[in-house]
Amino acid sequence: MAKKTGSLRRYFITRILLVIPMVWILLTMVFLLMRVAPGDPVSAAMGGKLSAADLAARKHALGLDKPLIVQYLEYLRDVVTLNFGTTLTDNRSVRSIIIDNGGATLSLSVCALIVALGIGLPLGLFGGRVRDRVPDVVIRLFGIVTYAAPVFFTGLIFQIIFSKNLNILPSSGQASAIVQATVPTRTHILLLDAALTGDPYSFWDCVQHLLMPSITLGLLICGVFIRLVRVNVVQALQGDYIEAARARGIPERRVVNRHAFRNALVPVITVMGLQVALLLGGSVLTEQTFNWPGLGTQLITYMNGRDYNAVQGIITVFALVVVVISMIIDFVNALIDPRVRY
């Protein structure tokens, strides 16, 4: 027991120490990529709107006239203190943008992950049970199509079917105007804020607006889970312990669900962490398609305005979220599978 606890502690400490250079490399890449483009952020965002003297004053106020190494060190300091500066185009705090719009992206990503798991796990399990039969072929084809289909195209199809033709779901937005105006902001997650008010109408309105975007984004990654679960179930069903379980007379359904499927879940947990980056990338297009007021929408807006400060801050947050989620997934894997610790 002491050896197990010691190996787990060593793994956690090692993993945390490895995060430090990983985060540093990510932050350095973000900083350099924002400065690869010709010109400077102020001239790109405000060129033609300000006089030469005002542009110079703005650059000096933002520290863009300092040497690159000084800007880099100040950038690292600001990230550590969660100070991402202000936007160049509308003078908003980047931190406030992340807080105000991050809840919308969080709710969309979490619900999309639930959709992906809700579709991918049972289909992958069923496909592994009926390997190489017609249902298995259909399931594999479905996984390939959903993974390859562009997010915006799937979203537009859903809008045409469920909003325009059937008129059963709203086509865009996070909620109706009256709900957004009446629900008090507590957590910056509108769905949760609506639930806290105890008003079923407001909560159901938020759910209706969330359904299409989350299903669209969830379909993007459900194919990964279908393939992963199917392959691992097929491999598990060929194991000696499965044959031993069958020889003892254990029903096939129980063998598959309690033995093969459980072992197939270990790599799924690992891939869940990797899919966070895909979710965040897909949320950008999904938010644009459904006019969802999340960080993806803000990122596109500020990219079009060439507001490097805002873009740098939002991308930095995305990178940090991916690193933190990956570390959490590694910890969960170490708790579940002792082999990971060695």
- 46 pLDDT higher than 70: no
User: According to the model, what pLDDT value does residue 206 have?
Assistant: 94
> What is the span of the domain harbouring residue 158?
101-306+315-341
Q: Is residue 201 part of a domain?
A: yes
Rank 106-110, 300-304, 333-337 by mean pLDDT and report only the highest. 106-110
At 106-134, the pLDDT tens digits run 899 989 989 998 999 899 888 888 888 89
Place of tokens 């459900």: 222
pLDDT classification of 38: cutoffs 50, 70, 90 = low
Q: Is residue 38 part of a domain?
A: no
Q: Is residue 292 part of a domain?
A: yes
Q: Is residue 194 part of a domain?
A: yes
> For the whole model, what pTM was predicted?
0.84
User: According to the model, what pLDDT value does residue 40 have?
Assistant: 64
| Count of all residues that appear for the chain in the document | 342
Q: Are the CB atoms for 177 and 68 separated by under 8 Å? A: no
Residue 39's region, left for phi above 0, alpha for psi from -120 to 50, else beta, is left
User: According to the model, what pLDDT value does residue 157 have?
Assistant: 92
Q: What percent of the chain has pLDDT over 90?
A: 22
User: According to the model, what pLDDT value does residue 140 have?
Assistant: 92
Q: Is residue 2 part of a domain?
A: no
User: According to the model, what pLDDT value does residue 44 have?
Assistant: 64
Q: Is residue 45 part of a domain?
A: no
In the structure encoding, which two tokens stand for residue 261, read together?
Answer: 């499927």
CATH of the domain at 324: 1.10.3720.10
Give the total number of structural domains in the chain. 1
Q: Is residue 127 part of a domain?
A: yes
Q: Is residue 35 part of a domain?
A: no
Residue that wins the pLDDT comparison between 234 and 276? 234
